């Protein structure tokens, strides 16, 4: 039966002659968003199919795997490596806590790599079972759109099958971008970095985003000599400038060589082995591995969207409306392939909203306001709400800035000279908390507790907002770093709105 759909409060009128489709929904791409959308749609009673490329730890145009980038070659394996890298400095710190650690402690990269691969294979199986338990039909192969209601599936043996669907959802994610510099074929992306057969002794990383910063921390924690090259004065463009400076100091303090305002001009094989890395400042850096982490591009190239008439933007991302619907009424898109807010929890949110809108008869728009995020460098950075620069642009009047910089209790014994920094932004007129940032151990876990308060404070007239006074009246857990958020009593500075943006 053709299903009804509620949009903007109006129930779509069924056609006089109901059309039979093989499926109510066919999803192309079984990453986090696609799996969520298909499962939830099936729970509403829809007949759902989903297709995904065959599994491989290193993704390509013809390989992928159920679970998608985050689970198989992104957030999850990256976090495993972050945990592994953190043990090196922790062992150093342990000596002052009485642990008689031998002078030589060996690190077995291949063992960690094997354990990481075992885990992502396990998760791949779990995601397949989630789909099966929800009654979703899984096809392994490449999907492409050949009509407003038709998907072609190219199976592993090359045979082609065609399926009709009342709705088509595209959730094919994104892929790593390679800059067009001479010798770029000698470089690797984050996909390959997660599966290197040998741990390099020397690594050069191009990029200043969270992937570049995280891999710099991972490799340095494992004893690799790391050079980090980025175009701006500070890494992590788009984050709070003060917190960016904190991250940069921490990276440098851990032994990473920083190259601000620098890009790469050429890579070439060295006669003595390794790679010669040329910068735009005339430097030559020797490396065993060069990682390019200069952004990601939407996976739309092989979907045949132009032929069907689906509109793309100049980045080749799929253009959608506020309900994730394309200009073709029966075709929808969520996740990184739309290039809206490229975070796994956001793709999950979009998948949930899609299912509610299309099959739950409850039109729901994804809410992108003040989504929290974390950078898993060592130590990590986590934020929710406005940065100071955003607050100055968007708030009328003055913004009160509260900061706390302190030596974590653990470091007082270990001797590590690395401060934690916390920051709160408050609307000086209303006392509403606008944003929070933290760089230090356990920052993402601590920040999670602040999310409801911050979101409530900035969602205009919809939720009961948290004020600075309410933060101040909260009893903290002692001794803990988290209590600093409720004990920052003294205003560090007050800034006026609409000041010029920095170019850091």
- Is 207 annotated in some ligand binding site? yes
CATH of 179-293, one of 3.30.930.10, 3.50.50.60, 3.20.20.70, 3.30.750.24: 3.50.50.60
- Is 497 annotated in some ligand binding site? no
Class of domain 23-176+297-359: alpha beta
45, 68 contact by CB (below 8 A):
no
Catalytic residue from among 177, 278, 281, 478: 478
Q: Where in the chain is the domain with CATH 3.50.50.60?
A: 23-176+297-359, 179-293
Q: How far apart are CA 405 and CA 461, in angstroms?
A: 33
Architecture of domain 372-494: 2-Layer Sandwich (3.30)
Residue 364 clears pLDDT 90, i.e. is over it: yes
Q: Where in the chain is the domain with CATH 3.30.390.30?
A: 372-494
- Is 174 annotated in some ligand binding site? yes
Catalytic residue check, 114:
no
> What pLDDT, in 10s, does the model give residues 255-302?
999 999 999 999 999 998 999 999 999 999 999 999 999 999 999 999
Average pLDDT over every residue of 76-90: 96
pTM, two decimals, is 0.91
Q: How far apart are CA 474 and CA 450, in angstroms?
A: 12
Q: How long, in residues, is the chain?
A: 504
Instruction: Please choose, from the candidates 294, 351, 265, 360, the residue with its C-alpha nearest in 3D space to the C-alpha of residue 46.
Output: 360
* Per-residue model confidence (pLDDT) at position 501: 52
> What pLDDT, in 10s, does the model give residues 209-253?
999 999 999 999 999 999 999 999 999 999 999 999 999 999 999
Instruction: Please choose, from the candidates 33, 9, 332, the residue with its C-alpha nearest in 3D space to the C-alpha of residue 165.
Output: 332
């Amino acid at each position: 039966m053709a299903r009804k759909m509620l949009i903007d409060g109006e129930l779509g009128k069924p056609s006089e002659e109901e059309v039979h489709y093989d499926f109510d929904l066919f999803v192309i791409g079984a990453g986090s968003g696609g799996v969520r959308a298909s499962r939830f749609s099936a729970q509403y009673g829809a007949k759902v199919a989903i297709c995904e490329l065959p599994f491989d730890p290193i993704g390509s145009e013809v390989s992928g795997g159920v679970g998608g980038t985050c689970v198989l070659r992104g957030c999850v394996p990256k976090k495993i490596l972050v945990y592994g890298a953190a043990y090196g400095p922790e062992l150093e710190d342990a000596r002052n806590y009485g642990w008689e650690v031998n002078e030589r402690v060996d690190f077995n990269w291949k063992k960690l790599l094997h354990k990481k691969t075992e885990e992502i294979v396990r998760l791949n199986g779990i995601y397949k079972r989630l789909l099966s338990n929800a009654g979703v039909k899984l096809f392994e192969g490449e999907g492409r759109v050949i009509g407003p209601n038709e998907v072609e599936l190219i199976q592993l043996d090359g045979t082609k099958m065609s399926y009709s669907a009342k709705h088509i959802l595209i959730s094919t994610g994104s892929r790593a971008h390679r800059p067009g510099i001479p010798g770029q074929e000698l470089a690797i992306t984050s996909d390959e970095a997660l599966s290197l057969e040998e741990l390099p002794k020397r690594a050069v990383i191009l990029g200043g985003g969270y992937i570049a910063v995280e891999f710099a921390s991972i490799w340095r924690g494992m004893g690799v000599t790391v050079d980090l090259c980025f175009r701006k004065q500070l890494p992590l463009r788009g984050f709070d400038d003060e917190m960016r400076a904190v991250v940069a100091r921490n990276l440098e303090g851990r032994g990473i060589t920083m190259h601000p305002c620098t890009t790469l001009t050429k890579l070439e094989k060295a006669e003595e082995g390794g790679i010669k890395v040329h910068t735009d400042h005339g430097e030559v850096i020797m490396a065993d591995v060069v990682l390019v982490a200069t952004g990601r591009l939407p996976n739309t190239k092989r979907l045949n969207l132009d032929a069907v008439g689906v509109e793309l933007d100049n980045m080749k991302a799929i253009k959608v409306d506020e309900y994730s619907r394309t200009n073709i009424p029966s075709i929808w898109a969520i996740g990184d392939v739309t290039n809206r807010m490229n975070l796994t929890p956001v793709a999950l949110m979009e998948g949930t909203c899609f299912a509610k809108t299309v099959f739950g008869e409850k039109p729901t728009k994804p809410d992108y306001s003040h989504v929290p995020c974390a950078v898993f460098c060592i130590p990590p950075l986590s934020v929710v709400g406005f940065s100071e620069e955003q607050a100055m642009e968007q708030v009328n009047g003055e913004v009160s800035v509260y900061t706390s910089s302190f030596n974590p209790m653990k470091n007082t014994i270990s001797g590590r000279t690395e401060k934690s920094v916390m920051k709160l932004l408050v609307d000086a007129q209303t006392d509403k908390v606008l944003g929070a940032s933290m760089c230090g151990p356990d920052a993402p876990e601590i920040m999670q507790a602040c999310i409801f308060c911050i979101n409530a404070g900035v969602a205009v007239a919809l939720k009961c907002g948290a004020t600075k006074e309410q933060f101040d009246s909260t009893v903290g857990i002692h001794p803990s770093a988290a209590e600093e958020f409720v004990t920052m009593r003294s205003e560090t500075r007050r800034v006026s709105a609409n000041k010029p943006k920095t170019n850091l």
